[in-house]
Amino acid sequence: MAIQQDSRPALPPRPSATNEIAFAGCAKTPPSWLTALVHHYEGDKKHAHEFFLSRHFVDGAEIVLICKKCHKRFALTTSIPTSTEETISQMNVKRGMCVVNRENHLHHLHTTNSTKTNVASECCYCHFTVNVVIYEPYIDVQIFDELQKTRPIPTYSNAARRINGAENEPNILETLELLSNIIKTLATSDSSRKLNLNSKQFISKISYDKASKAFFDKLEYKLEDDQYLTPPQLTEDYIIKSKHVSEEIDMRIMDISEKASRGCTISYEEPYGKLETILGTKCTSLN
Ligand SMILES: [Zn+2]
Ligand SMILES: [Zn+2]
Ligand SMILES: [Zn+2]
């Protein structure tokens, strides 16, 4: 995994009152705005979001972040004030400079909206705006939690037990990897779409229980003859959904691998460098 610790926004010592970092508090410079975004939760389990760049929105107009912990997506767009007409000024705004604030060229971002699903801010100097729309994951994280309850995280000791034949239960990483594989090959392979619940592979790596049923329900699979799971018609929307689901599975695989101190072949880019360029957290002089 790429280590980009130094590009992360500096987090202040945790204050006892959350007001200082919440969007409802005072107006923010870009670094403290980013800190507020990392700590933005409304009615959720408290956590600092661990953002990665989503792979499925790369059209340049918006940046989409996915949190490794809650799997929510944060779609961020910015707009340059229409009054900024000179091309050179527009370019500077694009590079994250506040062209009106001559003192340090940092935007001063005032919150215009802060809810569970949206954060919007505007710079009081130049009217540059940032808008963040927050989407719920396709597969609730609770479903992953449930899968994990009955499927152990692989350790060397249960690998040894398995070799001795004492254990033949799926472990959570095998389950997630096979689920990921099923989702990823949906659009490309014809033959493997129909899943046989009685197949050796399904039993040993996934196993059909309440938790895995909930997962397939979310993907609108239907049970046939008490033995086969079949996906719905593969529409364009469904393919897009499946790509997001595969990203959500990746996030959980990364999370478990990290907790179990195991190597992980999946890696996603961290977004902080990109965010700093857009919001101007590092910019202190015009050049
Ligand atoms: Zn999160
Ligand atoms: Zn500004
Ligand atoms: Zn201001």
pLDDT higher than threshold 70 for residue 12: no
- Which domains, and CATH codes, for the chain? 5-137+269-279 (no CATH), 141-259 (1.20.58)
CB 258 within 8 A of CB 264: yes
205 Cα to the center of ligand 2, angstroms = 53
Structure tokens at 64: 């989409």
pLDDT higher than threshold 60 for residue 58: no
Confidence of residue 10 (pLDDT cuts 50, 70, 90): low
CB 111 within 8 A of CB 23: yes
Reduced to 3 states, what is the DSSP secondary structure of residue 100?
Answer: coil
pLDDT higher than threshold 60 for residue 131: yes
Ligand showing the shortest atom-to-Cα distance for residue 72 = 1
Rounded Cα–Cα distance for residues 169 and 147 (Å): 12
The pLDDT value given to residue 60: 61
Reduced to 3 states, what is the DSSP secondary structure of residue 125?
Answer: coil
Ranges 80-89, 104-113, 194-203, 230-239: which has the least confidence: 80-89
Ranges 106-115, 126-135, 157-166, 243-252: which has the least confidence: 157-166
The pLDDT value given to residue 287: 39
Ligand showing the shortest atom-to-Cα distance for residue 27 = 3
- Name the nearest CA neighbour of 121 among 30, 238, 211, 194: 30
Ligand showing the shortest atom-to-Cα distance for residue 106 = 2
Q: What is the pTM of this model?
A: 0.84
Strand order in the sheet with 129-135: 51-53, 63-67, 73-79, 129-135, 118-123, 109-114
What percent of the chain stands above pLDDT 90?
56
Ligand showing the shortest atom-to-Cα distance for residue 83 = 2
Give mean pLDDT, residues 114-139: 94
Residue carrying structure tokens 């919001």: 279
122 Cα to the center of ligand 2, angstroms = 8
Near ion ligand 3, which residues have CB within 5 Å?
27, 108, 124
The rounded radius of gyration (Å) of the Cα atoms in the chain is: 22
How far CA 237 is from CA of 26, 132, 185, in Å, comes to 40, 22, 16
